[in-house]
Structure 1
Amino acid sequence: MTDILHGRCFCGAVSIQARGQPFQVSWCHCRDCRRQTGAPAVVWAGFRADDVDWFGEPKHRQSSPHITRSFCADCGTPLSYEDERLPGDVYIHAGAFDEADRLVPDRHAYVTSKLFWLHLEDGLTEVETDVRQPHE
Protein backbone atom coordinates (compact mmCIF):
# COMPACT_ATOMS: atom_id res chain seq x y z
CA MET A 1 0.00 0.00 0.00
CA THR A 2 1.30 3.43 -0.95
CA ASP A 3 1.54 6.14 1.68
CA ILE A 4 -0.66 9.10 0.87
CA LEU A 5 -0.43 12.53 2.44
CA HIS A 6 -3.53 14.73 2.34
CA GLY A 7 -3.46 18.49 2.41
CA ARG A 8 -5.53 21.54 1.67
CA CYS A 9 -5.73 25.28 1.86
CA PHE A 10 -7.43 26.97 4.82
CA CYS A 11 -10.86 27.20 3.18
CA GLY A 12 -10.74 23.80 1.46
CA ALA A 13 -11.16 25.10 -2.11
CA VAL A 14 -7.82 23.47 -3.07
CA SER A 15 -6.71 20.10 -1.77
CA ILE A 16 -3.65 17.94 -2.38
CA GLN A 17 -2.79 14.27 -2.29
CA ALA A 18 0.87 13.30 -2.40
CA ARG A 19 1.87 9.66 -2.88
CA GLY A 20 4.92 8.20 -1.18
CA GLN A 21 7.53 9.88 0.93
CA PRO A 22 9.00 13.26 -0.02
CA PHE A 23 12.55 13.12 -1.37
CA GLN A 24 13.43 16.14 0.76
CA VAL A 25 12.02 18.03 3.74
CA SER A 26 13.81 21.30 4.38
CA TRP A 27 13.55 24.40 6.51
CA CYS A 28 13.96 27.53 4.35
CA HIS A 29 15.16 30.80 5.83
CA CYS A 30 15.20 32.92 2.64
CA ARG A 31 13.53 36.33 2.54
CA ASP A 32 11.18 35.34 -0.30
CA CYS A 33 9.68 32.48 1.72
CA ARG A 34 9.38 34.69 4.80
CA ARG A 35 7.57 37.38 2.84
CA GLN A 36 5.29 34.90 1.12
CA THR A 37 4.14 33.36 4.41
CA GLY A 38 4.76 35.96 7.08
CA ALA A 39 6.59 33.27 9.08
CA PRO A 40 10.21 33.49 10.30
CA ALA A 41 11.02 30.25 8.39
CA VAL A 42 9.06 27.63 6.47
CA VAL A 43 9.29 23.89 5.88
CA TRP A 44 8.99 22.53 2.35
CA ALA A 45 8.35 18.90 1.37
CA GLY A 46 9.67 18.01 -2.07
CA PHE A 47 7.82 15.52 -4.28
CA ARG A 48 7.90 14.44 -7.90
CA ALA A 49 5.09 16.40 -9.57
CA ASP A 50 3.74 13.12 -10.99
CA ASP A 51 3.16 11.92 -7.40
CA VAL A 52 0.96 14.90 -6.49
CA ASP A 53 -2.70 15.30 -7.37
CA TRP A 54 -4.43 18.67 -7.07
CA PHE A 55 -8.16 19.07 -6.53
CA GLY A 56 -9.38 22.58 -7.20
CA GLU A 57 -7.27 25.06 -9.09
CA PRO A 58 -4.57 27.00 -7.25
CA LYS A 59 -3.52 30.35 -8.65
CA HIS A 60 0.11 30.63 -9.85
CA ARG A 61 2.47 33.59 -9.74
CA GLN A 62 6.11 33.95 -10.72
CA SER A 63 7.68 35.33 -7.56
CA SER A 64 11.30 35.58 -8.71
CA PRO A 65 13.43 34.38 -11.61
CA HIS A 66 12.88 30.64 -12.10
CA ILE A 67 10.33 30.34 -9.23
CA THR A 68 6.55 29.97 -9.57
CA ARG A 69 4.47 29.84 -6.39
CA SER A 70 0.90 28.66 -6.00
CA PHE A 71 -1.78 29.71 -3.55
CA CYS A 72 -5.53 29.48 -3.07
CA ALA A 73 -7.27 32.32 -4.90
CA ASP A 74 -10.15 32.18 -2.38
CA CYS A 75 -8.39 32.27 1.00
CA GLY A 76 -4.81 33.15 0.03
CA THR A 77 -3.15 30.11 1.63
CA PRO A 78 0.36 29.63 0.15
CA LEU A 79 0.64 26.05 -1.13
CA SER A 80 3.68 25.27 -3.25
CA TYR A 81 6.52 26.40 -5.44
CA GLU A 82 8.25 25.04 -8.50
CA ASP A 83 11.72 25.90 -9.76
CA GLU A 84 12.15 25.69 -13.54
CA ARG A 85 15.75 24.57 -12.94
CA LEU A 86 14.37 21.45 -11.22
CA PRO A 87 11.81 20.20 -13.74
CA GLY A 88 9.33 17.66 -12.46
CA ASP A 89 9.72 18.59 -8.79
CA VAL A 90 7.18 20.43 -6.65
CA TYR A 91 7.73 21.70 -3.12
CA ILE A 92 4.65 21.87 -0.91
CA HIS A 93 4.31 23.69 2.42
CA ALA A 94 4.56 21.00 5.09
CA GLY A 95 1.93 22.78 7.17
CA ALA A 96 -0.68 22.29 4.43
CA PHE A 97 -0.69 18.53 5.10
CA ASP A 98 -3.02 16.86 7.58
CA GLU A 99 -0.17 14.49 8.38
CA ALA A 100 2.47 17.23 8.81
CA ASP A 101 3.93 15.42 11.82
CA ARG A 102 5.19 12.73 9.40
CA LEU A 103 7.33 15.30 7.56
CA VAL A 104 10.56 15.59 9.53
CA PRO A 105 13.02 18.21 8.22
CA ASP A 106 16.51 17.02 7.33
CA ARG A 107 18.26 20.38 6.79
CA HIS A 108 18.18 24.18 7.04
CA ALA A 109 18.67 26.11 3.78
CA TYR A 110 19.67 29.74 3.30
CA VAL A 111 20.95 30.07 6.85
CA THR A 112 22.82 33.26 5.89
CA SER A 113 19.37 34.87 5.52
CA LYS A 114 18.13 33.49 8.85
CA LEU A 115 16.73 35.99 11.33
CA PHE A 116 19.41 36.70 13.94
CA TRP A 117 17.12 35.87 16.87
CA LEU A 118 16.23 32.44 15.52
CA HIS A 119 18.62 29.92 17.08
CA LEU A 120 19.14 26.60 15.33
CA GLU A 121 19.92 23.99 17.94
CA ASP A 122 18.35 20.91 16.37
CA GLY A 123 21.56 19.42 14.95
CA LEU A 124 20.35 19.47 11.33
CA THR A 125 22.74 20.28 8.49
CA GLU A 126 22.94 24.03 7.85
CA VAL A 127 23.73 25.27 4.35
CA GLU A 128 24.37 28.84 3.23
CA THR A 129 22.31 28.54 0.07
CA ASP A 130 19.71 26.23 -1.32
CA VAL A 131 20.87 22.63 -1.55
CA ARG A 132 18.05 21.42 -3.77
CA GLN A 133 19.26 19.18 -6.53
CA PRO A 134 17.28 17.68 -9.37
CA HIS A 135 15.55 14.60 -8.05
CA GLU A 136 16.93 11.44 -9.60
Structure 2
Amino acid sequence: MTQMTGGCLCGAKRFTADMPDKLHAYLCHCRMCQKASGNVSLALVNVRHADVSWNEEPDWYQSSPIARRPFCATCGTSLGFRFMEGSENMDLTVAAFDDPSVFTPDSHFGAESIHRAWLNTEGLLEQRTDDYDKLQDMWRKAGAEPPKL
Protein backbone atom coordinates (compact mmCIF):
# COMPACT_ATOMS: atom_id res chain seq x y z
CA MET A 1 0.00 0.00 0.00
CA THR A 2 1.06 3.55 -0.70
CA GLN A 3 0.43 6.37 1.76
CA MET A 4 -1.05 9.58 0.42
CA THR A 5 -1.85 12.81 2.21
CA GLY A 6 -4.39 15.54 1.75
CA GLY A 7 -6.59 18.02 3.50
CA CYS A 8 -8.79 21.04 3.36
CA LEU A 9 -8.14 24.49 1.93
CA CYS A 10 -7.13 26.10 5.24
CA GLY A 11 -5.05 23.11 6.39
CA ALA A 12 -6.92 22.51 9.65
CA LYS A 13 -8.16 19.05 8.62
CA ARG A 14 -5.36 16.88 7.23
CA PHE A 15 -5.47 13.16 6.48
CA THR A 16 -3.13 10.31 5.64
CA ALA A 17 -4.60 7.38 3.73
CA ASP A 18 -3.13 3.96 3.02
CA MET A 19 -4.18 3.53 -0.58
CA PRO A 20 -5.05 0.12 -2.03
CA ASP A 21 -3.01 -1.18 -4.96
CA LYS A 22 -6.09 -1.10 -7.19
CA LEU A 23 -7.67 2.33 -6.90
CA HIS A 24 -11.38 2.87 -7.46
CA ALA A 25 -11.84 6.53 -8.35
CA TYR A 26 -15.10 7.67 -9.86
CA LEU A 27 -17.39 10.59 -10.56
CA CYS A 28 -20.60 10.66 -8.56
CA HIS A 29 -23.42 12.55 -10.25
CA CYS A 30 -26.18 11.79 -7.73
CA ARG A 31 -28.19 14.81 -6.60
CA MET A 32 -26.92 14.44 -3.02
CA CYS A 33 -23.28 14.77 -4.14
CA GLN A 34 -24.18 17.57 -6.54
CA LYS A 35 -25.83 19.53 -3.73
CA ALA A 36 -23.12 18.71 -1.16
CA SER A 37 -20.34 19.88 -3.48
CA GLY A 38 -22.19 22.64 -5.29
CA ASN A 39 -21.02 21.08 -8.53
CA VAL A 40 -22.24 18.91 -11.39
CA SER A 41 -20.36 15.89 -10.02
CA LEU A 42 -18.03 14.93 -7.20
CA ALA A 43 -14.74 13.14 -7.87
CA LEU A 44 -14.20 10.48 -5.21
CA VAL A 45 -11.76 7.69 -4.42
CA ASN A 46 -12.80 4.68 -2.36
CA VAL A 47 -10.64 3.64 0.62
CA ARG A 48 -11.05 1.57 3.77
CA HIS A 49 -12.20 3.81 6.62
CA ALA A 50 -9.68 2.13 8.94
CA ASP A 51 -6.87 3.15 6.54
CA VAL A 52 -7.55 6.88 6.96
CA SER A 53 -6.09 8.85 9.85
CA TRP A 54 -6.79 12.51 10.56
CA ASN A 55 -4.56 15.08 12.26
CA GLU A 56 -7.79 16.45 13.71
CA GLU A 57 -11.18 14.77 13.41
CA PRO A 58 -13.12 16.42 10.58
CA ASP A 59 -16.52 17.93 11.13
CA TRP A 60 -19.30 15.61 9.97
CA TYR A 61 -22.59 16.46 8.31
CA GLN A 62 -25.31 13.81 8.32
CA SER A 63 -26.53 14.39 4.77
CA SER A 64 -29.21 11.69 4.86
CA PRO A 65 -30.53 8.97 7.17
CA ILE A 66 -27.91 6.59 5.72
CA ALA A 67 -24.77 8.69 5.19
CA ARG A 68 -22.58 11.44 6.53
CA ARG A 69 -19.90 13.62 5.00
CA PRO A 70 -16.59 14.84 6.47
CA PHE A 71 -15.78 18.50 5.92
CA CYS A 72 -13.94 21.45 7.45
CA ALA A 73 -16.24 23.88 9.23
CA THR A 74 -13.57 26.60 9.03
CA CYS A 75 -13.05 26.74 5.26
CA GLY A 76 -15.98 24.62 4.02
CA THR A 77 -13.97 22.04 2.10
CA SER A 78 -15.86 18.83 1.31
CA LEU A 79 -13.62 15.90 2.23
CA GLY A 80 -15.67 12.84 1.40
CA PHE A 81 -18.60 10.55 2.04
CA ARG A 82 -19.33 7.58 4.30
CA PHE A 83 -22.31 5.31 4.78
CA MET A 84 -23.26 5.20 8.45
CA GLU A 85 -23.62 1.41 8.53
CA GLY A 86 -22.83 -1.64 6.47
CA SER A 87 -19.55 -0.61 4.85
CA GLU A 88 -15.98 -0.65 6.02
CA ASN A 89 -15.12 1.75 3.19
CA MET A 90 -15.51 5.46 2.70
CA ASP A 91 -14.80 7.91 -0.10
CA LEU A 92 -12.38 10.83 -0.02
CA THR A 93 -12.68 13.73 -2.45
CA VAL A 94 -10.01 13.50 -5.13
CA ALA A 95 -9.21 17.23 -5.08
CA ALA A 96 -8.51 17.13 -1.33
CA PHE A 97 -5.40 15.00 -1.95
CA ASP A 98 -2.09 16.84 -2.13
CA ASP A 99 -1.44 15.13 -5.48
CA PRO A 100 -4.76 14.38 -7.17
CA SER A 101 -3.03 13.76 -10.51
CA VAL A 102 -2.49 10.06 -9.69
CA PHE A 103 -6.22 9.32 -9.92
CA THR A 104 -8.12 8.41 -13.06
CA PRO A 105 -11.86 7.80 -12.88
CA ASP A 106 -12.95 4.28 -13.73
CA SER A 107 -16.72 4.83 -13.61
CA HIS A 108 -19.70 7.11 -13.14
CA PHE A 109 -22.24 6.70 -10.35
CA GLY A 110 -25.65 8.38 -10.13
CA ALA A 111 -25.91 8.29 -13.91
CA GLU A 112 -29.56 9.39 -13.79
CA SER A 113 -28.34 12.90 -12.88
CA ILE A 114 -25.39 13.27 -15.28
CA HIS A 115 -25.14 16.70 -16.92
CA ARG A 116 -23.71 15.44 -20.21
CA ALA A 117 -22.60 18.87 -21.44
CA TRP A 118 -20.00 18.87 -18.63
CA LEU A 119 -18.50 15.43 -19.33
CA ASN A 120 -16.39 16.22 -22.39
CA THR A 121 -15.10 19.77 -22.30
CA GLU A 122 -12.19 19.17 -24.66
CA GLY A 123 -11.83 22.01 -27.13
CA LEU A 124 -13.06 24.75 -24.78
CA LEU A 125 -10.81 27.73 -24.15
CA GLU A 126 -8.20 26.97 -21.48
CA GLN A 127 -6.81 29.77 -19.29
CA ARG A 128 -3.93 29.23 -16.85
CA THR A 129 -4.13 31.10 -13.54
CA ASP A 130 -0.44 32.01 -13.72
CA ASP A 131 -1.02 33.63 -17.13
CA TYR A 132 -3.95 35.72 -15.91
CA ASP A 133 -2.22 39.00 -15.01
CA LYS A 134 -5.26 40.57 -13.32
CA LEU A 135 -5.48 37.65 -10.89
CA GLN A 136 -1.75 37.72 -10.20
CA ASP A 137 -1.96 41.47 -9.51
CA MET A 138 -4.86 40.96 -7.07
CA TRP A 139 -2.75 38.52 -5.05
CA ARG A 140 0.20 40.91 -4.91
CA LYS A 141 -1.99 43.93 -4.02
CA ALA A 142 -3.35 41.84 -1.15
CA GLY A 143 0.25 41.45 0.07
CA ALA A 144 0.46 37.77 -0.78
CA GLU A 145 2.07 35.53 -3.35
CA PRO A 146 -0.24 33.62 -5.72
CA PRO A 147 -0.67 29.95 -4.82
CA LYS A 148 2.03 27.68 -6.22
CA LEU A 149 1.07 25.45 -9.11
- 1:111 partnered with 2:111: yes
Q: What is the Cα deviation at residue 9 of structure 1?
A: 0.2
- Secondary structure (helix, strand or coil) at the match of 2:57 reads coil
Corresponding position of 1:59: 59
Q: Which amino acid aligns with 2:19?
A: G
Which structure features the higher share of strand residues? 1
Partner secondary structure for residue 118 of structure 2 = coil
Q: What amino acid is aligned across from residue 14 of structure 2 in structure 1?
A: S
CA-based RMSD of the aligned residues comes to: 2.0
TM-score, with structure 1 as normaliser: 0.80
The runs of 5 or more residues in structure 2 that have no matched partner are 122-149
Q: Quick one: distance in 2 between partners of 1:82 and 1:102? A: 22
Which position in structure 1 is the counterpart of 2:101?
A: 101
If you compute each CA radius of gyration, which structure gives the higher value, 1 or 2?
2
2: CA distance between counterparts of 1:86 and 1:25? 20
Residue 82 of structure 1 corresponds to which residue in structure 2?
82
Partner of 2:7: 8
1:26-45 map, 5 Å: 26-45=26-45
Which runs of at least 4 in structure 1 moved beyond 6 Å after TM superposition?
Answer: none
Report deviation, 1:40. Answer: 1.2
Percent identity over paired residues: 31
For 1:23 and 1:3, locate their aligned partners in 2 and report how far apart those are by CA, in whole Å.
11
| Alignment TM-score, normalising by the size of structure 2 | 0.74
